[in-house]
Amino acid sequence: MLSFFSPLVYIQISPNLLTLKNLKTGLEISEVAEIALSLPPKPKVILGAGAQARLASASEPAQLIQPFAHPRSLVSDFASAEALIRIQLQRVLGKGWLRVAPSVVMHPLGNPDGGFTQVELRAFREMAMGAGASTVRVWTGRPLANHELLADPAALSGGKWE
């Protein structure tokens, strides 16, 4: 899954926290899963993401959204979730004129009754693709260590590739 040119990013999603780790550089970002959007009549503009979302909403009127907080699903606002992942992916990959799209492992945390639905699993995959990933795999189960992410996916236990 990891090529020489394409970085691998491991994304853990929970209702309150979004964690991204670039396995190529070791850079890890773990922030609140929030995004601030401007209020009408202004055009919808992202004012801040993660910890910056609260600061932005304090300085001017804004809608503060937690895109992964919903009582029945881990995805409550697809467009905001995709935008939040895009912003955090850019942060963890760094700036670059010619940046290669990363391979991403999406890991929704939690254990909903009956497991995640196919709709939710597809939503996670589509979010990462829309945020700029070249390839996406979704893992459900226990958190993975760096060496497990780089190893043969078929050899992993304690979870399931979706």
Question: Which whole number is the average pLDDT over 28-37?
Answer: 94
- Say what the pLDDT of residue 58 is: 82
Judge whether residue 4 has pLDDT over 70: no
Q: Counting Cβ atoms within 10 Å, is residue 6 exposed (0-12), middle (13-18) or buried (19+)?
A: middle
Cβ atoms within 10 Å of 58's Cβ, excluding its own: 11
CA 32 to chain centre: 11
Cβ atoms within 10 Å of 116's Cβ, excluding its own: 20
Tokens of 31: 């922030």
Give this prediction's pTM: 0.90
Compare 122 and 58 and report the one with higher pLDDT: 122
Is 137 within 8 Å of 154 (Cβ atoms)? Answer: no
Judge whether residue 2 has pLDDT over 50: no
Question: Which whole number is the average pLDDT over 124-133?
Answer: 96
Residues in CB range of 153: below 8 A, 6 or more apart:
1, 137, 161
How much is the CA Rg of the chain, to the nearest whole Å? Answer: 16
Q: Where are the domains of the chain?
A: 8-32+75-161
- The H or E element that residue 22 is part of is strand 17-22
- Say what the pLDDT of residue 3 is: 52
- Which tens digit of pLDDT belongs to each residue from 8-29? 999 999 999 999 999 999 999 9
Name the CATH superfamily for 8-32+75-161.
ATPase, nucleotide binding domain (3.30.420.40)
Residues in CB range of 112: below 8 A, 6 or more apart:
73, 74
- Which tens digit of pLDDT belongs to each residue from 39-72? 888 888 888 899 898 888 888 888 899 999 888 8
- Which tens digit of pLDDT belongs to each residue from 79-121? 999 999 999 999 999 877 677 899 999 999 987 888 889 999 9
- Say what the pLDDT of residue 1 is: 46
Give 125's pLDDT tier (boundaries 50, 70, 90): very high
- Say what the pLDDT of residue 143 is: 92
Is 10 within 8 Å of 21 (Cβ atoms)? Answer: yes
Residues in CB range of 36: below 8 A, 6 or more apart:
46, 47, 48, 49, 52, 53, 54, 56, 57, 62, 63, 64, 65
Give the C-alpha distances (Å, rounded to integers) separating 141 from 82, 109, 159, 162.
22, 8, 4, 11
Judge whether residue 6 has pLDDT over 60: yes
